[in-house]
Amino acid sequence: MTAQQPEGSAQERKRQRRLRRWWKRVGVSSLLVGAAVGAWAYEDAVPAAGLKGILPASPPDVFASDAFEALGPTWSDWSQGAAEAIDSYYKADGDVAAQKAALASVKRKLGVLDKALADNSYVMIAEPLTKLRGPLARRVALGEAIFATLEADPDAARQQALKSAAQDVQSALTALEADLKSIPGGLAWLPYLHADALSKAVAESTSGEALTAALNATKSRLAARATLSDETQKAFLGRPKFLALETAVQADLSVLEQPAKTADPAAARAALTELVAAIEDYEATSSAVAASNVRAATKKVSDVSADGGAALKKALDEFYFSPNLQIAASETFLNRLLSDARTEQGQVNDYVLGAAVGGWQTTSSTVSVDVKPADDEIKFDLVLSGTIQSNTAGRTDQATIYTSGYHTFRSVKGVMYDGEKFVTTPAVTAVNANNTTTGAATRFNGTLLSGIAQRTAMREAAARRGQAEAIAEGRITARVTPKFNEEVDKSFAKATEQIETDLNKGLKETGIYPDWLKLWSTGDQVRVASRLMPEGKLGGNNPPSAWLASGTGAALVMHESVVNNTIDQIGFAGKKMSEEELRAHLEGFLSKALSREFKFQAPKETEAAPSTEPAAEEEAESTKEPAQLVFAENDPVRIQFRDGELLLVIRAGLERKSGEPIPAHEIVVPLTFTVSGDKIMIQRDVLQIAPIEGRSNPIQQKVMNTRIAASLPDREVPGTFTLKGPSREVTAKVTDLKLVDGWIAVHVD
């Protein structure tokens, strides 16, 4: 197979996919519920085995034929085989062995997609490959988890849980020890935590009284930090590695307290059927209701399955509970933001080795960033490099020595960020002083002894050169180091305060602060991964790693669940608002979230296109009168990132001062984003509108279409933005933008 551009009208195929997806969205819940009920009815007659009755009767729409066609004709054989394998898997015919064979066949097809995505020769079809790969990987993992859940042995499952919990404790201890080694005196905390006794107990057994006692002893010491009066010690025991150990210890104790579960195969099958239906609903609609159903069904599986949902949790953690926002910034990009260059001139007025030294000097310095590897924090060095060039005259009673100086210095100061605060280390400065004597004048100048006196003075200056350079090195260090420490410490203390007051405070108050956060750095890149997943919601999965290869710039990769979980916090459900009230509501929420006043740009007046249909003209005219959107109680606003489009889904009705109210409709607004130079072009495609309940009314749909379309015209927005560093502002530019499989990837340079 070779890379091939898809043939035919891509826009038309996209529209057809959208229409199918839209119709499926309208009826997906009832269809899936019907499938589940049918499965249970089947079980009443003939006990089902394996996936039979748990999976839908046919593959999801994402695996429709045009999804394969987008790969091009050179992939036709693979596409046909993949479509047949997926269809066979969902039919779930035959015994369990046959079903597992069908799943294995699908997994092999998935392996081909993984191999192609790792091969640069397929870069031209990376997006259609990703569009297939993501949904297929999620369903393969879910299928394997279902088999593992159904076949779990209660005793074996408990032993595995005990083993995993013990391994987690040992891993946490090892990580803590490594962290403490990097801190002067840090290892002294290990005896306080009874770390050796715990490590020994974990190594000897995964259960028993000795292990329980060791776990409780360490737990007690960790919990005691709340009673410490020394705030420094309390903060130290709150470091991430201590918290990770505390979590692992508590998890192990919880597993030890739980006896082996009694399996309930029928209840497990029913819960798994409910879970699969909820997941398929969520995949199609990104619905908050479906997300809540997934979480509820997951708990049911955990309650009734022999392994307590362990196998299922592993799959869901990777594909539905993972980070949904990731940021990567290259060292080059950070240097643009944090680097600085200065040139300073000044007089020299000093006293060195018995001589009064005067003259001029020029100091040129630059600050650069050197990213360092770190597992649980962002770590980098700020490097201050510079030169000092001087021309001085050192005067004594005997002679005046003229000296040209060229001194270099390098000061390195470590900076760490753990997601809450910046911590700096003292700067370490190295100086290389170099003085050259350029001349000498004595009181014998102009006499016969002039040459002898000058040579004597020059020899004396040369003899003292090493001592003078050592003094210069000390004085440069004493001048550079404190100033560098002061400026950097002040700058990052201010940054810590601003992050808390200008960012975190608003996010926490509005309920959109991440519930999980991880930071780390490599040798040339810093990374942040976070998850916004409130109770009853879902998170992300795994975006292609290539999207986070930031090169010389930075990348932001965000899952639609971030946007949808944020929308749910804004509070549209059941609200009745005019356009002005809606704008004010959004501005209020964003102002609170961003801890600063936020205002939308005033909308421009738009004029509806003339129509040849009298009824449409009449209804279009009526849309100019004041009206209020009446948002649905469930899923009033949803966002989906699909096939290069942002789908804005609005579920709302309309109330007007004159005329009958328009009941709730579901309006799907397709928006495409194109990077063009320093602009981002946003174009709206044809809206799809359908009533949520009841029969369709064409006039009402036209009114809704006119109003929504008028409020979302085609537009262009700046593709550049300004980032503020400690000493300057940097302009960044969006260079690429992708929307695939629930993710948006934005690259800037």
Question: How far, in Å, are 544, 547, 685, 689, 708 from residue 616 at the CA level?
Answer: 46, 45, 20, 15, 15
Tell me the pLDDT tens digit for each residue of 301-325: 999 999 999 999 999 999 999 999 9
Q: What is the mean pLDDT of residues 262-286?
A: 94
Largest CA distance in the chain: 127
- In terms of pLDDT, which residue wins out, 29 or 711? 711
What pLDDT score does 696 carry?
A: 77
Write down the mean pLDDT value for the chain.
87
C-beta separation of 491 from 726 below 8 A:
yes
Range from 16-20, 262-266, 564-568 carrying the lowest mean pLDDT? 16-20
Sheet of 325-330, strands arranged across: 516-521, 525-531, 325-330, 554-559, 743-748, 729-740, 720-724
Share of the chain above pLDDT 90, in %: 56
C-beta separation of 137 from 103 below 8 A:
no
Q: Predicted confidence band at 9 (pLDDT cuts at 50, 70, 90)?
A: low
Query: If DSSP codes are grouped into helix, strand and coil, which group holds residue 31?
Result: helix
Tell me the pLDDT tens digit for each residue of 466-496: 887 888 888 889 999 999 999 999 999 999 9
* Helices 310-319 and 154-181, axial angle in degrees (round to 10): 50
Tell me the pLDDT tens digit for each residue of 76-88: 999 999 999 999 9
Residue type for 47, please? P
Q: What is the mean pLDDT of residues 665-693?
A: 93
Strands (E), 522-625: 525-531, 554-559, 576-577
Tell me the pLDDT tens digit for each residue of 377-406: 999 999 999 999 988 877 887 877 788 889
Does the pLDDT at position 191 exceed 50?
yes
Does the pLDDT at position 5 exceed 90?
no
C-beta separation of 422 from 492 below 8 A:
yes
Enclosing H/E stretch for 267: helix 265-285
What pLDDT score does 24 carry?
A: 52
Does the pLDDT at position 610 exceed 90?
no
Does the pLDDT at position 607 exceed 80?
no
Q: Predicted confidence band at 30 (pLDDT cuts at 50, 70, 90)?
A: very low
Q: What is the mean pLDDT of residues 412-416?
A: 96
- In terms of pLDDT, which residue wins out, 268 or 35? 268
What pLDDT score does 29 carry?
A: 46
Q: Predicted confidence band at 623 (pLDDT cuts at 50, 70, 90)?
A: low
Between CA 282 and CA 538 the distance in angstroms is 9
Q: What is the mean pLDDT of residues 157-184?
A: 89
- In terms of pLDDT, which residue wins out, 546 or 115? 115
DSSP secondary structure of 163-203 = HHHHHHHHHHHHHHHHHHHTSTTGGGHHHHTTHHHHHHHHH
Q: Which of 133-137, 159-163, 435-439, 622-626 has the highest mean pLDDT?
A: 133-137
Q: Give the angle 577-578-584 at the CA atoms, nearest 5°.
A: 80
Nearest to 25 by CA among 533, 688, 643, 538: 688
Q: What is the mean pLDDT of residues 633-641?
A: 96
Q: Predicted confidence band at 600 (pLDDT cuts at 50, 70, 90)?
A: confident
Between CA 54 and CA 265 the distance in angstroms is 13
Handedness of CA 180, 184, 188, 189 (dihedral sign): negative
Q: Predicted confidence band at 572 (pLDDT cuts at 50, 70, 90)?
A: very high
Does the pLDDT at position 20 exceed 60?
no
pTM: 0.85
Residue 93 tokens read as: 């015919």
Q: What is the mean pLDDT of residues 12-18?
A: 59
In 443-468, which positions are buried (b, 16+ CB within 10 angstroms) versus exposed (e)?
Answer: ebeeeeeeeebbebbbeebeebeeeb
Between CA 25 and CA 665 the distance in angstroms is 13
Q: What is the mean pLDDT of residues 257-278?
A: 90
Q: What is the mean pLDDT of residues 327-355?
A: 87
Does the pLDDT at position 515 exceed 70?
yes
Q: What is the mean pLDDT of residues 201-216?
A: 90
